A and B are shown apart, each in its own frame.
Chain A
Amino acid sequence: MDDTLSPASPAVVRRAVEPAFAVTFLGALAWIAAIFLAPYLRSRSSGAASFLYAVFAPVCHQIPSRCFYFHGFPLAVCGRCLGIYAGFLAGLAAYPFVRGFRKIALPPVRLLILLSLPAGIDFAGGFVGAWTSPIWVRFGTGLVWGVILPYYFLTGVSELLLWRSVRKSGASTRASPDGTGLDNLGTKHVE
């Protein structure tokens, strides 16, 4: 990943990235916990299970044959979605070691394409009827894709927090006109 020095002070960047990271990490943990909580509550005949399944319904088809089971009931999302969320959490856990909190940078596009390929090929093959992937393959390809996603999400959220602090200081927050793709908040748009 890119190691370009940021024109914004590392301390200022750190003050934006750290809270964004903390909130995102807690949110991702709660999200995955809720995925497992839904079948557990269903097995206990709790009415809250229906609410949790309904929360995840808009973002996943929840087809039982494509879900892992927990306590005898399908998880609240399919295997591929679970892989994406698990990969997101894994990428997030690695974030402080890979990127650190002192700079903001987007990952290289080539890396995004590379990590998207397994899930893309798996989905395309299934869609055209060339094969039917086992659920672990769906989970694995989703996991690979999900690992890179927090590096995008945190960059966007951190930059919004930076905008707020920079706006207070009265400085400009627009992209630099020199064509480098390096805006004056310090986000490096890596090729």
Chain B
Amino acid sequence: MDNRRPEYLVPALIAGAVAGVLSGIPFVNCLCCLWIIGGAALATHLLAKKTPGPLTAGDGAIVGALTGIVAATVDALMGIPLRPLNEAFLHRFMASLARVVDQLPAGWQDWVQRGTSTGFSLAGFFLGLFISAAIFAVLGVLGGVIGVSLFGRKKIYPPPPPATQGPANAAV
């Protein structure tokens, strides 16, 4: 029996990059964790196309976790140039919300200010990346196994039977 593992890395890199970009763009990221789950399912689809046999749930879990880690890295890297855009978006959104909703608690401006005014720090970046990678990997496992359920159950056809020898040969 073939005991080789499929090649997980390339599908995880492709799908992780797509999911990371989509989850990092302001407004587009309103789909929350679904980008990561969807990205992991996409990775499983790519893996299933490259793998001759059916995939197992474990295959989906591995490629999904890798996809999540790649997506977290891409998301974190995209966050550096997009940080001013994200802050401006948040301020504009909260200001417009405060005009129409009286439900916002008092002092929300201070809350937003505290959340966005902290400058960039390398330690903070790597801590955030580590936490994101752990969370995205878990979500990726989920998406990868769902992907196996959707794409990974290919029918394997048995090899053709060996050519039968004719009666003339058999008699020799």
Output the least CB separation between A187 and chain B (Å). 5
Report whether A109 and B1 are in contact in the complex, using a CB–CB cutoff of 8 Å: no
| Selected contact of A156 from candidates B1, B58, B153, CB within 8 Å | B58
Report whether A153 and B58 are in contact in the complex, using a CB–CB cutoff of 8 Å: no
Is A144's CB within 8 Å of the partner chain B? Answer: no
What is the number of residues of chain A that contact chain B, defined by CB distance less than 8 Å? 52
Output the least CB separation between A25 and chain B (Å). 14
Is B136's CB within 8 Å of the partner chain A? Answer: yes
Is A59's CB within 8 Å of the partner chain B? Answer: yes
Report whether A174 and B145 are in contact in the complex, using a CB–CB cutoff of 8 Å: no
What 1/0 mask marks residues of chain B from 54 to 72 whose CB sits below 8 Å from any chain A CB?
A: 1111101110100000001
A162 CA / B59 CA spacing, docked (Å): 12
With A112-B146, A174-B4 as contacts: A59 and B33 at CB distance below 8 Å: yes
Report whether A174 and B1 are in contact in the complex, using a CB–CB cutoff of 8 Å: yes
Contact residues on B (Cβ < 8 Å of other chain), bracket? 35 or more
Query: Smallest CB-CB separation from A39: which chain B residue?
Result: B105
Report whether A179 and B145 are in contact in the complex, using a CB–CB cutoff of 8 Å: no
| Selected contact of A58 from candidates B111, B115, B135, B156, CB within 8 Å | B135
Report whether A109 and B97 are in contact in the complex, using a CB–CB cutoff of 8 Å: no
* Interfacial chain A residues near B32, Cβ < 8 Å: 59-61, 77-78, 80-81
Report whether A177 and B4 are in contact in the complex, using a CB–CB cutoff of 8 Å: no
Which chain B residues have a beta carbon within 8 Å of chain A's beta carbons? 1-4, 23, 29-33, 36, 53-58, 60-62, 64, 72, 75, 93-94, 97, 101, 103-105, 108, 111, 114-115, 128, 131-132, 135-136, 138-139, 141-142, 144-146, 148-150, 152-153, 155-158
Q: A156-B144, A172-B2, A187-B56 are in contact. List 10 more A-B contacts (CB 8 A).
A: A61-B30, A64-B94, A64-B108, A81-B33, A153-B142, A156-B58, A159-B56, A160-B62, A163-B58, A174-B2
18 contacts between A and B (CB under 8 A): A50-B114, A54-B128, A58-B23, A59-B33, A59-B136, A63-B30, A64-B104, A69-B105, A72-B105, A73-B105, A80-B32, A112-B150, A123-B31, A156-B148, A162-B58, A173-B58, A177-B1, A189-B57
